[in-house]
Structure 1
Amino acid sequence: MKNKHKTNNNSLHFTVKEATELLPFLLEVMPNRSRNSVKSILTRGQITVDDHLETKHNYPLKPGQTVIVLKNKAAIKQDQLIGMSILYEDNDIIVINKEAGLLSIATKKEKQQTAHNQLMEYVRKQDPQNRIFVVHRLDKETSGVMMFAKSEKIKRKMQDDWKHVVKERTYVALVEGKVEKQAGTISSWLRETKTHLMYSSNDKNGQHAVTHYKVTQSNNEFSLLEVQLETGRKNQIRVHMKDLGHPIVGDKKYGATSNPLRRLGLHAKILSFHHPETNQLLLFKADVPKSFLVKAK
């Protein structure tokens, strides 16, 4: 069965017709390219499956999914960022919409393909002296709005007064099961194990974490929640959803048993804050991935 495809100047779009793996699929839809050429397209991060940046050769594909191949010219164009797009930029800050699958900052294993590294290269094209600073982070598998500072001074200004500077941080979480209570608040003290797993405790020596949620749609299998952070602790929403008895889909680390999205069901939808220099209130929004809405219908 032939895979449909459409094209624009920068990318090729393919609809998956039958279950297969990503590398064989790409070899089939791009018959004029060698195996090594297709592998390097994958490695360079030019492939998106639905709303997810994917580099694994054996990533399983399902019928109905959309595979987007970013053309090489587009991938190496000066302003082409892989796995993210710029929502706003001025002399002090850059705000991006990050896809799931892209690291915020470098790890021991991955140094190059990160939001921080790409933005550093991007600003240095304007001036080799330019730099980018991390203000806050999103987990690799979390998508949505994220901001960076263009100077150490702005970074410190934002971080030192984060609680007052940030007016709204709204996430959308797709969780397992039907959440019966339509709205609620979860409050606990978070601690971290030696294996870097966060957990809630009654020990007030931990970091106090407060999460507000409301159910926006649900069925017997999944619920879609709008989640607002009062505090921004590591893995806060993930731990609190586990505490609620409804772990985030795809979050095996915190108790999930299903992974229908084949990514973490967490998306940073809104970030609103006072600009560190002008004090103007700014609000940035990243649309909720369609796959979240479909599952909770």
Structure 2
Amino acid sequence: MADKLEGTITNEQGRIDKVLSERLTSYSRSQIQQWLKEGLVVLNGQKVKANYQVKPDDHFIIHLPEEKPLEVEACDIPLDVVYQDQDVAVVNKPQGMVVHPSHGHPTHTLVNALLFHLDQLSGINGVIRPGIVHRIDKDTSGLLMVAKNDRSHTSLAQQLQDKTTLREYTALVHGNIPHQKGTITAPIGRSKTNRQMQDVVDDGKFAVTHFTVLERFADFTLIKLQLETGRTHQIRVHMKYIGYPIAGDPVYGPKRTLKGNGQFLHAGVLGFTHPTSGQWLTFEAPLPEVFKKTLDNLAKPIDF
């Protein structure tokens, strides 16, 4: 066996597979269910099934499986590697690139590029998501941390679970936000009316987003956002929920919006503790050119 993850249930309720997938956000629920089937999840010293209902003070240990040989094809795709050493890498993902292969995107993803440009990647998430600790949407640009071995992956995943990482985004939203700062606390889950979308729902996963206004334009507001949790489409769903959807968002925004290559959302700041040295590392990535040009155009005076 390689490394392990462990913790104690506090206020969580429900099935063990659901609770663990909510706590360990870098692992999918299906991955955790597979580990349960393989007997790699131990609760209070006993192996349990996926439908086990957790209780307060339950202690879990997950024995992470050994790395598996990678089978996804490496592709010579240009990639902005901001930083790398023997344990971790930080990459600046361009807008329009999918993070890992899926049924609709079998190749030319970030993972395919990582396999070409980096000498090694962690295998905890299997052959489809090597090195991937967290994700951003296809049409969101910006920084991602990548694990080059399982020990680093475990450390980074634990930091995400403990909410000790720094993840700041810049977004352009519709409307003028009147107040300077705000916090959105609203549970996110699959939409009851459209299963392809996420929404704020009563039985959703706990989600918190903080925002600060950077600049106001005639019909738009530029904001900085900081994530406390990492739910699917969290920023996009939360901003729509409070009435200020992200400009250019083809799913959660209005049909008539600014021209671009998708939502004006950029993961510009990333910070975490290095798994080996213990040093705090912070990285910044500039806004994409289309984002910069749009802001410049919005700032220009209107000719009458």
Same fold, judged at TM 0.5 (above): yes
Distance in 1 of aligned mates of 2:103 and 2:76: 25
Using the alignment, how far apart are the partners of 1:269 and 1:249 within structure 2? 17
Report the AA paired with residue 91 of structure 1: Q
With over 3 angstroms needed to count, the CA separation of the structure-2 counterparts of 1:95 and 1:125, relative to structure 1, is: closer
Match of 1:291 among 290, 293, 299: 293
* Alpha-carbon distance between aligned partners in 2 of 1:167 and 1:159, rounded to the nearest angstrom: 10
What one-letter code is carried by the residue in structure 2 that aligns with 1:110? H
AA in 2 matched with 1:153: R
SS of the residue corresponding to residue 261 of structure 1 reads coil
2:259 matched residue in structure 1: 260
Within 5 Å, give how 1:1-297 maps onto structure 2: 81-82=77-78, 84-124=79-119, 132-164=130-162, 166-193=164-191, 195-201=195-201, 203=202, 205-257=203-255, 258-289=257-288, 290-297=292-299
* Distance (Å, rounded) in 2 between the aligned partners of 1:227 and 1:189: 17
4+ aligned runs moved over 3 Å, structure 1:
78-81, 163-167
Cα distance change, pair 165–236 in 1 and its aligned pair in 2 (3 A): closer
Q: What percent identity do the matched residue pairs reach?
A: 35
Cα distance, 1:263–1:252 mapped onto 2, change above 3 Å: closer
Q: CA deviation at 1:81?
A: 4.0
Identify the structure with the greater strand proportion. 1
Q: State the superposition RMSD in angstroms.
A: 2.4
Q: Distance in 1 between matches of 2:91 and 2:118?
A: 14
Contact 1:222 1:295 in 2 (8 A): no
Structure 1 distance, partners of 2:133, 2:261, is: 28
What SS does the aligned partner of 1:254 have?
A: coil
Three-state SS of the structure 1 residue aligned to 2:151 is helix
Aligned residue number for residue 48 of structure 2: none
Q: Give, in whole Å, the separation in 1 of the partners of 2:263 and 2:297.
A: 13
Equivalent-residue separation in structure 1 for 2:119 and 2:84 (angstroms): 14
Deviations 1:51-102, CA, capped at 9 Å, x for gaps: xxxxxxxxxxxxxxxxxxxxxxxxxxx99642x3000000111101111011
Instruction: Measure the CA separation in 1 of the matches of 2:235 and 2:268.
Output: 14
Question: How many correspondences in the alignment?
Answer: 213
Q: Partners of 1:233 and 1:200 in 2: how far apart?
A: 11
The answer for unaligned runs of 5 or more in structure 1 is 1-77
